């Protein structure tokens, strides 16, 4: 995960450039990449991303107001003073979608985000048996309705002259 400060300011810029059509997609990424490439302590992914969403929303909603922005949590400790974004945001609430594969992250997405970015490895049984129940539990925990949450599911597609060639082409995507 990148800095929530840089993420929030980038989201504000992208939302402005897109005329209010931007959706911020976040995910925890791999532990190895976080720690070795970005120098970020990985910790526990679901509480970490939950806190990241809180901080990003706090910055987006307050960056233009000129007030101190403070947050103290397990993963982030911010005390931003003396800075103000020079103009109001396009929107004060930019939609945030979280990437998730396993039940805990899917539930967390339903609790704190506006949508779920599914993975190409989701099968229809996985969606029915894991994704939808986890979304329902997360929404219930947050006191939200299903209509307040978007599912963005993807499909792995490979085009070839025959089925065997298509399967071989798709294998790199679905082999985990």
pLDDT in tens, 42-70: 789 999 999 999 999 999 999 999 999 99
What is the residue range of 119's domain?
Answer: 99-176
User: According to the model, what pLDDT value does residue 1 have?
Assistant: 66
Contacts of 97 (CB under 8 A, 6+ apart): 23, 24, 25, 26, 109, 113, 114, 115, 116, 117, 150, 152
- 60 and 86 co-located in one domain: yes
User: According to the model, what pLDDT value does residue 175 have?
Assistant: 58
- 86 and 124 co-located in one domain: no
Alpha carbon 9 to its chain centroid, in Å, reads: 15
- Longest CA span, the chain: 63
- 4 and 69 co-located in one domain: yes
- 56 and 133 co-located in one domain: no
Domain end, chosen from 43, 66, 94, is at: 94
Measured in residues, the chain has a length of: 176
User: According to the model, what pLDDT value does residue 34 have?
Assistant: 78
- 88 and 7 co-located in one domain: yes
- 64 and 145 co-located in one domain: no
User: According to the model, what pLDDT value does residue 176 have?
Assistant: 46
- 65 and 138 co-located in one domain: no
H or E, element range at 117: strand 115-117
Residue 106 CA to residue 98 CA, distance in Å, equals: 8
- 114 and 59 co-located in one domain: no
Residue 176 CA to residue 171 CA, distance in Å, equals: 9
- 65 and 82 co-located in one domain: yes
- 61 and 83 co-located in one domain: yes
- What's the predicted TM-score (pTM) here? 0.88
H-type alpha helices, 63-123: 103-112
User: According to the model, what pLDDT value does residue 41 have?
Assistant: 79
Structure-derived torsion over alpha carbons of residues 40, 42, 47, 53, reported in degrees to the nearest 10? 30
- 81 and 156 co-located in one domain: no
Structure-derived torsion over alpha carbons of residues 113, 115, 118, 124, reported in degrees to the nearest 10? 120
The answer to whether 97 and 116 have CB atoms below 8 angstroms apart is yes
- Number of domains the chain is built from: 2
Instruction: Encode the chain (176 residues) as per-residue pLDDT tens digits.
Output: 678 999 999 999 999 999 999 999 999 988 888 788 878 777 899 999 999 999 999 999 999 999 999 999 999 999 999 999 999 999 989 999 999 999 999 999 999 999 999 988 888 899 999 999 999 999 999 999 999 999 999 887 888 999 999 988 888 776 54
Residue 160 CA to residue 176 CA, distance in Å, equals: 22
- 67 and 148 co-located in one domain: no
Mean of all residue pLDDT scores within the chain? 92
């Amino acid at each position: 995960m990148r800095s929530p400060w840089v993420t929030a300011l980038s989201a504000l810029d992208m939302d402005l450039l897109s005329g209010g059509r931007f959706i911020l997609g976040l995910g925890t990424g791999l532990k190895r990449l976080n720690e070795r490439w970005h120098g970020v302590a990985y910790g526990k992914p679901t509480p970490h991303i939950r806190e990241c969403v809180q901080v990003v929303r706090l910055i987006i909603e307050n960056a233009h107001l000129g007030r101190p922005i403070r947050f103290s949590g397990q993963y982030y400790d911010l005390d931003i003073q003396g800075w103000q974004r020079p103009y109001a945001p396009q929107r004060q609430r930019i939609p945030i979608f979280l990437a998730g594969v396993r039940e805990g992250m899917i539930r967390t997405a339903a609790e704190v985000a506006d949508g779920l970015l599914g993975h190409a490895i989701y099968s229809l049984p996985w969606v029915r048996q894991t994704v939808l129940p986890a979304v329902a539990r997360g929404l219930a925990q947050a006191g939200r309705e299903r209509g307040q949450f978007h599912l963005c599911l993807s499909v792995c597609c490979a085009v070839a002259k025959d089925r065997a060639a298509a399967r071989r082409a798709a294998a790199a995507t679905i082999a985990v």
